A and B are shown apart, each in its own frame.
Chain A
Amino acid sequence: MPNAAAQTGQFAIAPISLWRRGMNRLVTLAAGAAVVLVLLPLGAIFAYLIYKGLGSISWAFLTQIPKPVGEAGGGMANAIAGSAYILAIASVMGVPIGIGAGIYLAEYGRNRFGDLIRFTADVLNGVPSIVVGIVAYGIVVLGQGHFSALAGGVALAIMMIPTITRTSEEMLLLVPNAVREAAYGLGVSRWRTTLSITLRTATSGVITGVMLAFARVAGETAPLLFTAFGNQYWNWKMNQPTAALSLQVYTYAISPFDEWHRQAWAGALILIVLIVASVSAVRIVAGRGMLKGAN
């Protein structure tokens, strides 16, 4: 009977000392307190955005351009449209390049050169956004001689590319090799396999990456300060200064006028709703399973 000794209590486990139990309790409490402390500002930010922003959003805010200082009313319609315009320019440039580089890394990049590109993508990911602004200023603004929507778009595209590249690569690598081999076995050429089979299988994952990149740059202000520059009026020309929501929020927030502060909250609320919506969409898409087609 191997258990006999334990049953008679000969080897009874010594009770855990008060100090150790107390320490355990204390740390559990501290960790819980840390969570509360971190969630507190998050809650406060959202509460204030809704409380201050909701009251200031009106039909006029969404449809009118800013009024001169001192006049009440006016809105951020041009800034909302400008943000969409700049983001569209950025996506047109950044998304194809990002996905293309992701395909290269996943399908042809199992070598030294691929590692180099992977490394540079990670480097690019860590470049401070204000530095990206300087570079876009150097390439586009000095070239054109103006602050412009294009320059803003280039700056944001530079920031989107590394995120899209790395997530697309990861998602394409999740596609089992058997799927590729099946296509090759049917005599499908390599490019067609990559585009119609592999990329198609990984579509929802790749879209996740694109939306993450989009959400990341949608609220960026620093790279737009001296590229898109901002504008009080409508602008649809690529080579003219353009308003952006984040820039407008910044200018209004540091201004001394109460009316502008009110509008800054409203603009910030619209910005955050757009971003949270795209992040949540990502969660829903990602939650459904990356590789529905493959399984």
Chain B
Amino acid sequence: MTGPQPVEKLEVVPSDRVKTPPLIEAGSSLIPDRIFYAAVLSCGLCVLGLVGVIVYQLVSKSALSWHAFGWKFFFRSEWDPVNEQFGAWPFVYGTLVSSLLALVLAVPLAVGVAVFITEMCPRWLKGALAFTTELLAAIPSVIYGLWAIFVMVPLLREYVEPFLAKYFGWTGLFEGTPYGIGMLAAGIILAIMVVPIVSSITREVMTAVPQQQREAVLALGATRWEMIRTGVLRNARAGILGGVILGLGRALGETMAVTMVIGNRPEIARSLFAPGYTMASVIANEFSEATSDTYLSALVEVGLALFLVTIIVNIMAQLLVWSVTRGMPRRSNA
């Protein structure tokens, strides 16, 4: 008896006649679900609220100084707590110069490290190297500062700065007494701290470049460097720029290590040997000693400016990194 068999006539039992209770009575989960949703939503709102609180605190606490000095606050170079005259220009200058110096030193190194790790190094070394460079990012900034004060600054004072003054003194950037402590020391310690950020982002965007790209360039007879230059770096440049800007964001907001080696003097000098002051360090040094309301308010305004600048810098960086890590695979599939 093969093949389909005729179906016997189905007997339909009207359901209202059999009343079997369900095996498990499921309670309504509507209310607990709502409570849970409300709980996690409020956590999410906390994140939103925190940014709101930060902005509110900074704006309201700096109002006094804002009303007293207006925009000119950022371009005046007087900083005189006794006569209540405040201008943040020396700090803005110090922050910009030390951060840019850090980037100039850090970016070539960071890109070099990223290129080495992703394209050149043998596989067994890769993980270890990546971990070690990330370890640099985990060292607290106060320890960088400690090391800089007792190890790096004496080295700079005894060897590096006299050397620079002798051979590059004509540029005007390396003049004056080599104290060790000063803008140059701040730039170098910042560079050491920024390298892991820039190199890890660079590595990420370089890995996002499709493998076919490399193979195609190699197949055309390129050497490894030509492959890296035309096939990888060129495609990843927006993302690398993003990494650099992210590093800038970190350098601008960095406090402790810089405070410990920059010399903390609100002066503007052309020489990198001269001591300087940054926005973050002036807050760190003077906030708990600010005696008058205007003084405190001026310091908060410096903080507000720092906040706004780092936010803008970070958003720009993120957009650039996304444009590579997100856009790349889509384009290569097309």
Contact = CB atoms under 8 A, between A and B. Distances in A.
B113 A23 contact: no
Q: How large is the interface on A (under 10, 10 to 19, 20 to 34, 35 or more residues)?
A: 35 or more
A120 B51 contact: yes
Contact of B146 (A33, A126, A253): A253
Interface in B184-239: 192, 195, 199, 221, 223-226, 228
A275 interface: yes
A85 interface: no
Interface in A1-50: 13, 16, 20-21, 23-24, 27-28, 30-35, 37-39, 41-42, 44-45, 48-49
B306 A130 contact: yes
A204 interface: no
Given A31-B115, A101-B44, A253-B149, A131 B303 contact: yes
A272 B139 CA distance: 7
B249 interface: yes
Most buried by A among B47, B142, B150, B223: B47
B108 to A, nearest CB: 7
A138 B57 contact: yes
A131 B139 contact: no
A100 B131 contact: no
A294 interface: no
B120 A218 contact: no
Nearest to B145: A253
A106 to B, nearest CB: 9
B41 A104 contact: yes
Interface string B45-84: 0111011011001100100000000000000000000000
Contacts of A41: 136, 147, 192
Interface of B: 24, 26, 29, 32-33, 35-37, 39-44, 46-48, 50-51, 53-54, 57-58, 61, 108-113, 115-117, 120, 129, 131-133, 135-136, 138-147, 149-151, 192, 195, 199, 221, 223-226, 228, 249, 252-256, 260, 280, 283-284, 287-288, 299-300, 303, 306-307, 310-311, 313-315, 318
Given A108-B37, A131-B307, A254-B260, 16 more contacts: A16-B223, A31-B112, A34-B110, A45-B144, A108-B40, A109-B44, A120-B51, A127-B310, A216-B138, A219-B142, A221-B140, A222-B141, A250-B142, A275-B138, A275-B139, A279-B138
A95 to B, nearest CB: 11
A128 B306 contact: yes
A249 interface: yes
Contacts of A291: none
B116 A222 contact: no
Contacts of A16: 221, 223
A100 B195 contact: no
A26 to B, nearest CB: 8
A268 B113 contact: no
19 contacts: A24-B225, A28-B120, A32-B120, A35-B113, A44-B147, A100-B40, A103-B43, A104-B40, A123-B315, A128-B255, A128-B280, A130-B284, A134-B303, A189-B33, A215-B138, A218-B140, A253-B150, A279-B135, A279-B138
